[in-house]
């Protein structure tokens, strides 16, 4: 305790802050990379004029509240205040669209990864580049705004992501980590910056020529993990710390996305490693040995925080619908006079799913709050369907909804692992789906037909991963790679649990996905029949 108190007082601790979909969380780590304090602020996206967004006020009020709660935890636990730090790292939900003017003000509300309004742009750019451009990528949002003739486009002086926006306001530096940048515009694996040929192709489009800015001028500078990415300014310190105690001059790491921090937090940045992050959204990432043979709309090509090529399957929807059903059961329990802790209720219901039939008993669910590009779904409507002869039971019901949370991911990963024959030694799972031991882990193993490991640190998540990247920046030895730093100085000696896929579960999930595909037409029809 005294060592940690002195570490904080001396300014040797490292801070990671991540803007997740439902929570902004800060994690403070010591020189052994262990979390020693934390703070969090809950928030929710809003659907405003058909766009999923968080307001500018939400972003800054949430950041300050999160940091103040971290300070309170430090004060209560160690009796000291934070005045300086060895390093800070910021990360955020991937990609999306933040367009800023010359005064760093947003020209339009933040358009998050959840929006599926850029289909036309994504399709045209994919054809132009011969490279898959997902709808959530920043370049797709920019081009769609151009195609829509939106007035703000001519005023853009910086195009960035949520993590990049925070970094710019706090340091004055328009930079991004290479992992996050790879979701703005395609990255060249050799140069570890934006693909020059594709930038030229974009600039050559007639509708783009109408603007005075150049793409290379408005996109953030790309930095690999380990490079310094600016220092905290006096203005930035006040934005972060409302108490005014935090000093300026602290070094900041390259800002990353939650995909990059997930890779760091699971030690899956080396070739043939992979991870699945399962929370509000779900995505799988596998570090590639060699390029994919074909372009697939279901697969994205991004990068690790150090710039290595990664194949990614990203799905907009995961646990939101599942959580809503658990909330319904909690309400029933309360009405029945039963006081059940939320965590205990999740554990009870998740474990009940293991008693269900291997294919869910003939039922099917769609967990789609929003559109889902992997399955060609423009608008989502959470839906549960069963035939009259389906075996309706609590165990089948819960297994069905757990399957639904990973069904779209499985469809994309089947292309990656079966059609492209990409090899992966172990998949590391992290996120809320894996909190109940052995349940989400086993379901994922069945979905991918691959071993799934959950580390002891899986619950620490993205902010811890961002803190690790910041620690690497200030503590790495000369020439030390991120892969070596994580494997030898962070994860050495750590243990976790590995689950092999159960053959019958694999077959059952395959039968469920066949039913899911067949019912997809009904899910698409629901979006048209029930407009927002």
Q: Which two tokens stand for residue 494?
A: 């750590």
> How does 306-336 read in b/e, with b if 16+ C-beta sit within 10 Å?
bbbbbbbbbbbbbbbbbbebbeebbeeeeee
Total count of residues recorded for the chain: 532
> How does 508-520 read in b/e, with b if 16+ C-beta sit within 10 Å?
bbbebbebbeebb
Is 307 in a helix, a strand, or coil? coil
Does 153 lie in the same domain as 139? yes
Closest to 269 (Cα-Cα) out of 318, 235, 232, 303: 303
Domain-embedded: residue 149 = yes
> How does 119-130 read in b/e, with b if 16+ C-beta sit within 10 Å?
eebbebbbeebe
Q: How far is CA 12 from the centre of its chain?
A: 28
Q: Which residues of the chain have pLDDT under 70?
A: 457-460
Does 401 lie in the same domain as 523? yes
- The residues near 282 (Cβ < 8 Å, ≥ 6 apart) are 276, 314, 315, 317, 318, 319, 405, 406, 408, 409, 431, 433
Backbone angles phi, psi at 159, to 5 degrees: -115, 125
Domain-embedded: residue 440 = yes
Is 498 in a helix, a strand, or coil? strand
Does 208 lie in the same domain as 129? yes
pLDDT at 457: 64
- Secondary structure letter of residue 97 according to DSSP: B
Backbone angles phi, psi at 277, to 5 degrees: -105, 120
Q: Please list the residues that pair with 284 across neighbouring strands.
A: 276, 313
Backbone angles phi, psi at 17, to 5 degrees: -130, 130
Residue showing tokens 């029930």: 530
Q: Which two tokens stand for residue 51?
A: 């766009």
pLDDT at 183: 94
Does 457 lie in the same domain as 311? yes
Does 510 lie in the same domain as 390? yes
DSSP 336-347: TT----HHHHHH
Does 366 lie in the same domain as 288? no
Q: At what angle do helices 394-414 and 503-529 cross, to 10 degrees?
A: 90
Domain-embedded: residue 245 = no
Domain-embedded: residue 266 = yes
Domain-embedded: residue 489 = yes
- The residues near 239 (Cβ < 8 Å, ≥ 6 apart) are 60, 63, 64, 169, 170
Using alpha carbons only, give the angle 338, 341, 347 rounded to the nearest 5 degrees: 110
Do 171 and 236 touch, CB atoms closer than 8 A?
Answer: yes
Do 350 and 394 touch, CB atoms closer than 8 A?
Answer: no
Q: Is 51 left (phi over 0), alpha (psi -120 to 50) or beta?
A: beta
CB atoms within 10 A of CB 303: 28
- Secondary structure letter of residue 166 according to DSSP: H
Backbone angles phi, psi at 288, to 5 degrees: -85, 145
* Cα end-to-end distance, the chain, whole Å: 53
Does 417 lie in the same domain as 277? yes
Closest to 453 (Cα-Cα) out of 461, 464, 445: 445
CA-to-CA distance for 128 and 247, rounded, in angstroms?
48
Domain-embedded: residue 53 = no
Closest to 523 (Cα-Cα) out of 359, 388, 321: 321
pLDDT at 94: 84
CATH number of the domain residue 292 falls in: 3.30.420.40
Domain total in the chain: 3
pLDDT at 299: 93
Domain-embedded: residue 150 = yes
Q: Which two tokens stand for residue 167?
A: 């970094």
Q: Is 268 exposed, middle or buried (0-12, 13-18, 19+ CB in 10 A)?
A: buried
Q: Which two tokens stand for residue 297?
A: 């709309």
Domain-embedded: residue 386 = yes
Closest to 432 (Cα-Cα) out of 471, 458, 396, 464: 458
- Secondary structure letter of residue 415 according to DSSP: I
Does 475 lie in the same domain as 436? yes
Using alpha carbons only, give the angle 381, 383, 387 rounded to the nearest 5 degrees: 150
Do 226 and 304 touch, CB atoms closer than 8 A?
Answer: no
Does 265 lie in the same domain as 214? no
Residue-range definition of the domain harbouring residue 363: 320-405+503-529
CA-to-CA distance for 391 and 400, rounded, in angstroms?
11
Closest to 185 (Cα-Cα) out of 147, 140, 230: 140
Does 360 lie in the same domain as 465? no
- The residues near 376 (Cβ < 8 Å, ≥ 6 apart) are 520, 524
CA-to-CA distance for 447 and 479, rounded, in angstroms?
39
Does 482 lie in the same domain as 359? no
Q: Which two tokens stand for residue 439?
A: 């349940």
**Tens digits of per-residue pLDDT, 129-162?**
999 999 999 999 999 999 999 999 999 999 999 9
Does 465 lie in the same domain as 518? no
């Amino acid at each position: 305790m005294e060592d940690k108190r002195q570490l904080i007082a001396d300014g040797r601790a490292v801070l990671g802050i991540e803007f997740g979909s439902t929570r902004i969380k800060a994690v403070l780590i010591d020189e052994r990379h262990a979390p020693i304090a934390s703070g969090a602020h809950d928030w929710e996206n809003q659907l405003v004029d058909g766009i999923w967004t968080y307001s500018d006020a939400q972003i800054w009020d949430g950041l300050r509240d999160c940091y103040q709660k971290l300070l309170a935890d430090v004060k209560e636990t160690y009796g000291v205040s934070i005045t300086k730090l060895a390093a800070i790292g910021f990360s955020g939900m991937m990609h999306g669209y933040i367009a800023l003017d010359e005064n760093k003000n947003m020209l339009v509300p933040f358009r998050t990864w959840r929006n599926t309004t850029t289909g036309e742009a994504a399709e045209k750019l994919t054809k132009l580049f011969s490279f898959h451009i997902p709808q959530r990528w920043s370049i797709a949002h920019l081009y769609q705004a151009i195609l829509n003739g939106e007035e703000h486009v001519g005023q853009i002086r910086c195009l960035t992501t949520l993590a990049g926006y925070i970094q710019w306001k706090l340091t004055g530096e328009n930079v991004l980590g290479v992992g996050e940048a790879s979701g703005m515009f395609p990255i060249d694996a050799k140069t570890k910056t934006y693909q020059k040929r594709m930038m030229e192709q974009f600039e050559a489009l007639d509708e783009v020529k109408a603007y005075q800015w150049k793409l290379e001028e408005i996109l953030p500078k790309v930095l690999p993990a380990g490079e310094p990415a600016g220092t905290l300014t006096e203005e930035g310190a006040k934005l972060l710390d409302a108490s005014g105690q935090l000093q300026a001059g602290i070094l900041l790491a390259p800002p990353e996305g939650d995909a990059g921090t997930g890779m760091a937090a699971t030690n899956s940045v080396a070739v043939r490693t992979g991870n699945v992050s399962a929370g509000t959204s779900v995505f799988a990432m596998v570090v590639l040995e060699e390029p994919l043979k074909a372009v697939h709309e279901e697969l994205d090509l991004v990068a690790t925080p150090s710039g290595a090529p990664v194949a990614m399957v990203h799905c907009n929807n995961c646990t939101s619908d599942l959580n809503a059903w658990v909330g319904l059961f909690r309400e029933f329990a309360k009405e029945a006079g039963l006081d059940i802790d939320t965590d205990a209720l999740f554990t009870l219901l998740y474990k009940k799913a293991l008693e269900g039939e291997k294919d869910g008993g003939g039922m099917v669910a769609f967990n789609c709050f929003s559109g889902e590009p992997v399955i060609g779904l423009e608008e989502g409507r959470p839906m549960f369907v069963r035939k009259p002869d389906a075996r309706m039971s609590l165990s089948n019901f819960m297994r069905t909804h757990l399957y639904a949370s990973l069904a779209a991911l499985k469809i994309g990963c089947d292309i990656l692992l079966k059609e492209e024959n990409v090899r992966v030694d172990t998949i590391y799972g992290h996120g809320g789906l894996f909190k109940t031991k052995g349940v989400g882990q086993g379901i994922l193993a069945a979905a991918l037909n691959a071993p799934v490991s959950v580390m002891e640190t899986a619950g620490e998540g993205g902010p811890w991963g961002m803190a690790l990247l910041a620690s690497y920046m200030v503590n790495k030895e000369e020439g030390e790679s991120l892969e070596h730093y994580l494997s030898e100085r962070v994860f050495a000696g750590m243990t976790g649990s590995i689950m092999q896929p159960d053959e019958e579960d694999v077959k059952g999930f395959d039968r469920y996905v066949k039913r899911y595909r067949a019912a997809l037409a009904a899910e698409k029809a629901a979006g048209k029949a029930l407009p927002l």
